[in-house]
């Protein structure tokens, strides 16, 4: 992390923020950019530190919803009752977070090493791009966000757990799962964004101290986090507006192109 220039940190922050909420995999971009351009490898702790910026954008963008959810959670703790829409959503978000949390604890080492292989990332980009496109094109659009059930939350949570593999995309996997369950694009995307907060916050609590211990609050790290916050807010806004009237095929095409480019670069480097 100490070897990164301010420009490199800026680029990584922008990539993380944009790709975190668009279904194109932020972890893939953060793993591939240093590999492709020959930059210093910042490490997973730096990647997670960037999520502090994304977390800030997420909390700000959905601030009204989060205030209502916090109040609902406090009400549940006080009354032991689950009656309102917000109280039910709190429970759903807790359920949806559990699979990803368990997977993160069990597969942390592989997420830092084996899962970051360029070939695996490229294949995940292409395969999940195809799944995203097919599911989105064929899924119905009848269900709304308030119709999520506990079982739906478990399935979408399992999809989030798969996103430990760079190239899968947390938002891509959870939005695809939501679409497969019959939710309209906006509802699937909104629930995906809301459920990302606990897992991002938990990862930040666990990993940010490690990132700071590696070099403290440096100028490149500060630039990267601020850039990630701004670009995350832009990505959330873009996607929620985009999905109201358009399908997700354009993101699948981007994933195909990026995956193919990575495989081509792997083959080229193997020969030279």
**pLDDT tens sequence across 177-220:** 999 999 999 999 999 999 999 888 887 787 777 767 766 778 88
- In a domain, residue 1? The reply is no
Q: Cα(27)–Cα(23) distance, rounded to whole angstroms?
A: 11
Confirm if 39 and 8 have CB atoms less than 8 A apart: yes
The H or E element containing residue 56 is helix 44-61
From residue 102, how far is each of 85, 95, 98, 107, 158 by CA, in Å?
Answer: 27, 12, 6, 9, 10
Give the chain's domain count. 1
Q: Is the pLDDT of residue 78 over 90?
A: yes
pLDDT at 60: 95
Confirm if 61 and 233 have CB atoms less than 8 A apart: yes
User: Three-state DSSP class for 41?
Assistant: coil
The alpha helices in 62-164, defined as continuous H runs, are 63-79, 85-106, 108-112, 118-138, 150-162
pLDDT at 108: 66
Confirm if 16 and 170 have CB atoms less than 8 A apart: no
pLDDT at 3: 79
Where is pLDDT greater, at 211 or 17?
17
Q: Is the pLDDT of residue 130 over 90?
A: yes
Residue 183, φ and ψ in degrees, nearest 5:
-85, 150
The fraction of the chain above a pLDDT of 90, given in percent, is 67
Q: What are the pLDDT digits (tens) for 82-96?
A: 999 999 999 999 999
- 109: domain range? 6-271
Lowest mean pLDDT among 46-60, 196-210, 249-263: 196-210
Where is pLDDT greater, at 159 or 100?
159
pLDDT at 44: 65
Q: What sign for the dihedral angle of Cα 211, 212, 213, 216?
A: positive
Q: Cα(123)–Cα(28) distance, rounded to whole angstroms?
A: 11
Question: Band of the pLDDT at 166, cuts 50, 70, 90?
Answer: confident
- In a domain, residue 267? The reply is yes
pLDDT at 215: 66
User: Three-state DSSP class for 183?
Assistant: strand
Residue 246 per-residue DSSP state:
-
- In a domain, residue 224? The reply is yes
Lowest mean pLDDT among 77-81, 86-90, 106-110: 106-110
Q: What are the pLDDT digits (tens) for 131-143?
A: 999 999 998 778 9
Mean pLDDT value of segment 19-33: 89
- In a domain, residue 26? The reply is yes
Measured between its terminal Cα atoms, the distance across the chain in Å is 28
Confirm if 82 and 257 have CB atoms less than 8 A apart: no
| Segments of the chain assigned E as strands | none
- In a domain, residue 30? The reply is yes
pLDDT at 110: 65
pLDDT at 104: 78
């Amino acid at each position: 992390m100490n070897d990164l220039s301010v420009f490199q940190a800026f680029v990584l922050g922008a990539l993380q923020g944009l790709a975190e909420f668009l279904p194109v995999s932020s972890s893939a971009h953060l793993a591939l950019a240093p590999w492709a351009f020959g930059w210093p490898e910042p490490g997973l702790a730096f990647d997670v530190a960037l999520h502090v910026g994304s977390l800030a954008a997420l909390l700000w963008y959905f601030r009204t919803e989060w205030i209502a959810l916090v109040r609902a959670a406090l009400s549940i703790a006080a009354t032991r009752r689950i009656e309102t829409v917000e109280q039910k959503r709190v429970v759903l978000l807790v359920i949806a977070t559990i699979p990803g949390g368990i997977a993160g604890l069990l597969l942390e080492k592989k997420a830092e090493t084996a899962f970051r292989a360029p070939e695996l990332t490229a294949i995940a980009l292409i395969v999940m791009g195809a799944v995203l496109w097919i599911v989105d094109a064929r899924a119905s659009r009848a269900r709304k966000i308030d119709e999520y059930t506990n079982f739906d939350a478990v399935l979408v949570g399992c999809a989030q757990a798969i996103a430990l593999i760079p190239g899968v995309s947390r938002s891509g996997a959870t939005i695809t799962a939501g679409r497969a369950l019959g939710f309209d694009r906006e509802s699937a995307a909104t629930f995906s964004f809301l459920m990302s907060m606990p897992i991002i916050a938990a990862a930040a609590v666990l990993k940010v101290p490690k990132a700071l211990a590696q070099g403290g609050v440096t100028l490149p790290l500060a630039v990267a986090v601020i850039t990630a916050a701004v670009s995350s807010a832009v990505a959330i806004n873009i996607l929620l507006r985009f999905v109201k009237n358009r399908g997700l095929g354009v993101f699948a095409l981007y994933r195909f192109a990026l995956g193919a480019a990575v495989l081509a670069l792997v083959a080229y480097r193997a020969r030279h």
